[in-house]
Amino acid sequence: MLFEEVKQQEQSYLMPTYGRFQVALVSGKGATAVDTEGKPYIDFGAGIGVNALGYCDPDWVEAVCGQAAALQHISNLYYNPVMTQLAETLCKQTGFSKVFFANSGAEANECAIKLARKYGVQAHGESCNRIVTLNNSFHGRTVTTLSATGQAGFHQYFTPFTEGFAYADPNLESVQAQVDQNTCAVMIELIQGEGGVCPLDKGFVQALAAFCKERDILLVVDEVQTGVGRTGKLYCYEHYGVQPDVITSAKGLGGGLPIGACLCTERLGAVMGAGMHGSTFGGNPVACAGALAVLKKITKPGFLEQVAQKGDYLREKLAAMDGIEEVRGIGMMLGARLKADNAKAVATACVENGLLVLTAKNMLRFLPPLTITQEELDKGLAILQETISNLQ
């Protein structure tokens, strides 16, 4: 099918929930995608951070295809050796004790919210169920995770929301002002991705972790976008020198297949009993096989160091570009503010010129595959500079 045929089909049969760029992608290899007309694109977005190994990594493809040919799905009424292997791998690599598998980041966050509330009720009484999140945060699109999201723009039309959330600014005084005797958890993103690629201050995060520990309030870190090597560490909290009670993971974990994970420390491992939570497709064998392939590759000696180096290189080149005012982020999760404040126009023009980039508020957002080559990086940067220059 050609692009116009795909576009017409989309308009005829899909709910108009997405503002799409004018391209239909059909294949890819590494960090290069190809559209219906055969045009190549350097991809600096990786499916919003999902394609951690790029397009069609041979080891990932082999693992996924092999599992699909053996057993594509079983319900969670039965033991699943691929899921248990992934659980052991994740727990041993992170130091967490137990994990629940879901289909997405929003579902992983739903599990974290339920876990925190059940712990609060058990440890401190029936009314200990409030969760503090941060202004400018984003935690998902279910009714409950929208309620947890600290952005008013996401709260239109869908009330009434799940109760029990309060919002604070990213400083300790503001969080303390929102905490009361019924607070069971504080939930944060270490880099607010949808909020404009805003890293939290390290001193604030460390002070918050100490405050939560002192009050027996759970520290929940949403690593849906920051996790699985994205920042040059396996998980972003390692940059901050803190140990969360709960982290959530998704996006890059599956390497292109839907998976979410909620990991907790040993003292929380038995909080959620049989029947308390579940997911039909959570821990699907094919998705777990893909995740195992991702983890095997990114934990090889030197891999994460290369991610950090590529992130430093990308930051340096972006900061030196004519037309870019500011660059922020960590590793391969970066945002750039343009002097002309025309991020959406630049992103649209980049597609026309053969580069896929993302936006977040008024920022260009960069989440390249962790495996992107130097040649692909340089080619994409050249297209970006030319595009910015032409629109100034």
Predicted confidence pLDDT, tens digits, the chain (392 residues): 999 999 999 999 999 999 999 999 999 999 999 999 999 999 999 999 999 999 999 999 999 999 999 999 999 999 999 999 999 999 999 999 999 999 999 999 999 999 999 999 999 999 999 999 999 999 999 999 999 999 988 888 888 999 999 999 999 999 999 999 999 999 999 999 999 999 999 999 999 999 999 999 999 999 999 999 999 999 999 999 999 999 999 999 999 999 999 999 999 999 999 998 999 999 999 999 999 999 999 999 999 999 999 999 999 999 999 999 999 999 999 999 999 999 999 999 999 999 999 999 999 999 999 999 999 999 999 999 999 999 97
Q: Which pLDDT does position 222 carry in this prediction? A: 98
Q: Which residue has the tokens 């972006």?
A: 318
Residue 59 annotated as lining a ligand binding site: no
Ligand-binding site membership of 299 (annotated): no
Q: Torsion-angle region of residue 305: left (phi > 0), alpha (psi -120 to 50) or beta?
A: alpha
Model pLDDT, residue 392: 78
365 in a known ligand binding site: no
341 is in an annotated binding site: no
71 to 74, 80, 273, 275, 283: CA distances (angstroms): 8, 10, 27, 25, 13
Kind of pairing, strands 198-199 and 25-29? unpaired
- The reply, when asked if residue 222 is annotated as ligand binding, is yes
Instruction: Please indicate if the annotation marks 141 as binding a ligand.
Output: yes
| Domains defined along the chain, listed by start | 3-56+301-391 (3.90.1150.10), 71-298 (3.40.640.10)
- Would the annotation count 223 as a binding residue? yes
Three-class SS of the chain: CCHHHHHHHHHHHCCCCCCCCCCCEEEEEECEEEECCCCEEEECCHHHHCCCCCECCHHHHHHHHHHHHHCCCCCCCCCCHHHHHHHHHHHHHHCCCEEEEECCHHHHHHHHHHHHHHHHHHHHCCCCCEEEEEECCCCCCCHHHHHHCECHHHHCCCCCCCCCEEEECCCHHHHHHHCCCCEEEEEECCEECCCCCEECCHHHHHHHHHHHHHHCCEEEEECCCCCCCCCCCCCCHHHHCCCCCEEEECHHHHCCCCCEEEEECHHHCCCCCCCCCCCCCCCCHHHHHHHHHHHHHHCCCCHHHHHHHHHHHHHHHHHCCCCEEEEEEECCEEEEEECCCCHHHHHHHHHHHCEECEEECCEEEECCCCCCCHHHHHHHHHHHHHHHHHHC
Instruction: Give the position of tokens 């029990």.
Output: 164
Q: Is 105 annotated as a binding residue?
A: yes
Give the separation between CA 249 and CA 240, rounded to whole angstroms: 17
Nearest to 23 by CA among 379, 387, 352: 352
CA-based torsion, 313, 250, 235, 239: positive or negative:
positive
Model-level pTM? Answer: 0.96
